[in-house]
Amino acid sequence: MSEVRVAGVGLTPFGNSPERTGRDLFAEATIAAFEDASVPREDIEEVLYGNFMGEIAEHQGHQGPLMADAAGVDAPATRYEAACASSATAVRDAVARIRSGQADVLLVGGAERMSNLGTGGATEALAIAADDLWEVRAGMTFPAAYALMAEAYFETYGGDSEDLAHVAVKNHANAVENDYAQYQREITVEDVLEAPRVATPLGLYDSCPISDGASALVLVSESYADRKGLDASVAITGSGQGGDRMALQDRETMARTPAASEASEKAYDDAGIGPEEVGVAEVHDCFTIAEVLAIEAIGLASEGEGIAAAREGRTTVEGEVPVNLSGGLKAKGHPVGATGVSQLAELTKLLRGDHPHGDRVEDADVGVAHNAGGTVASAVVHVLEVVA
């Protein structure tokens, strides 16, 4: 089985760019990825591309070949859709193809154009990742859904809005040095608690922004990296995916995310490690409660203890396992189709040491990325390790 190496990563700044098309954004990310990888475009065998709302935001389906063309690549291309976990799902397939020997060099990425829809339009577009018959038609939006999950967590394990505020404060502080982040400014606990409520108990600063952006990875086999003399010291050693019932009402509990637990167990088993070996993590914090649920699901906090992790400093840049040093979805931004690959790009740079926070985790050689779709009806987890 061939080892999967990350040869290069590329990102656009995440933010509000309503005038830019998805293909424009993806082209920029791929230019950066190819420059970072020192891999010629003609060596790419396939393009695997994540996108969620292209038909709505750009009236554009069949985006695979369109994005291959934008990247300057002449190769078969496929679009992947799993709501907010779209590009991580593409990575999972890419890992399987390289490991099996079906491919040596793949371009994997994602992009989303959202701000051109406006707040109302983007909220409506995002909502279709929920159950239309039993949730969307009843008026459910994702802020409301995660508010229900937060209330269920508080009722089951304790905690309150102030605990969640520490998650937002931490991630905004992490984003200050990240040139790709949408919000490069610090906030206080008071800012979070005094902000307008979006869906009680969640307020404006508990929520990720509407974002435009793109991300890309050049993934290669170990044998290709050796033949070409590439500096590809980070490998994807574990990959796992989990699922759950679509509608919240059909689940056993709203205070846990079993899909993410399943995905992480598979990823850790695949990599041959345990969560105690993880030195840094990027998790799906579309809302502050989502980070709490995520770190418990992937084994970085015990059940019921994730709520206090940020407040106690366990997940800060100086903590036991820093979480979301990029700023997370909360402050870096969340262009849905780009997010999963963006997490892997950030982790790769952290593990290589060329990230703004690289010196803070210089002893870390294992990272984990957690990407969720909807209210975690889909979840994908990847393990990255320094191997050379």
For the stretch 320-356, pLDDT in tens is 999 999 999 999 999 999 999 999 999 999 999 999 9
Q: What is the pLDDT of residue 56?
A: 97
Domain membership of residue 186 (yes or no) is: no
With cut-offs at 50, 70 and 90, classify the pLDDT of residue 203: very high
Tell me phi and psi for residue 287, to 5 degrees: -135, 155
Domain membership of residue 171 (yes or no) is: no
Model confidence at 69: pLDDT above 90: yes
CATH classification at residue 57: 3.40.47.10
DSSP 245: -
Give the Cα separation of 322 and 225 in Å (integer).
30
Closest CA to 106 of 341, 292, 351, 362: 341
The answer to whether 334 is a known catalytic residue is: yes
Domain membership of residue 113 (yes or no) is: yes
The three-point CA angle 125-65-374 to 5° equals 25
Half-sphere exposure for 17 (CA within 13 Å, toward CB): 20
Burial 304-330 (b: 16+ CB within 10 A, else e): bbbbbbbbeebbbbeeebbbbbbbbbb
Task: Look at phi and psi of residue 218 and say left if phi exceeds 0, alpha if psi is from -120 to 50, else beta.
Answer: beta
For the stretch 244-285, pLDDT in tens is 999 999 999 999 999 999 999 999 999 999 999 999 999 999
Q: What is the pLDDT of residue 132?
A: 94
Domain membership of residue 367 (yes or no) is: yes
Tell me phi and psi for residue 125, to 5 degrees: -65, -45
Per-residue DSSP letters for 2-16?
Answer: PPEEEEEEEEPPPB-
Domain membership of residue 170 (yes or no) is: no
Model confidence at 1: pLDDT above 90: no
For 148, residues 6+ apart whose C-beta sits below 8 A from its C-beta are: 248, 254
Give the Cα separation of 10 and 231 in Å (integer).
16
- The stretch 114-139 carries a mean pLDDT of 94
- The stretch 215-223 carries a mean pLDDT of 98
- The stretch 139-162 carries a mean pLDDT of 97
Amino acid at 383: V
Given 84, 166, 286, 355, which residue is catalytic?
84
- The stretch 184-201 carries a mean pLDDT of 97
Domain residue limits at 270: 4-118+209-386
CA distances to 49, 209, 221 from 76, in Å = 11, 33, 18
Share of the chain above pLDDT 70, in %: 100
Model confidence at 2: pLDDT above 90: no
Q: What is the pLDDT of residue 362?
A: 85
Domain membership of residue 130 (yes or no) is: no
Q: What is the pLDDT of residue 322?
A: 98
What total of structural domains would you count in the chain?
1
Given 166, 172, 284, 334, which residue is catalytic?
334
The answer to whether 84 is a known catalytic residue is: yes
- 229 burial via Cβ count (<10 Å: 0-12, 13-18, 19+): exposed
Q: What is the pLDDT of residue 388?
A: 75
Domain membership of residue 307 (yes or no) is: yes
Joined together, the tokens standing for residue 6 give 């990350």
Q: What is the pLDDT of residue 385?
A: 98
The rounded mean pLDDT for the chain is: 97
Domain membership of residue 39 (yes or no) is: yes
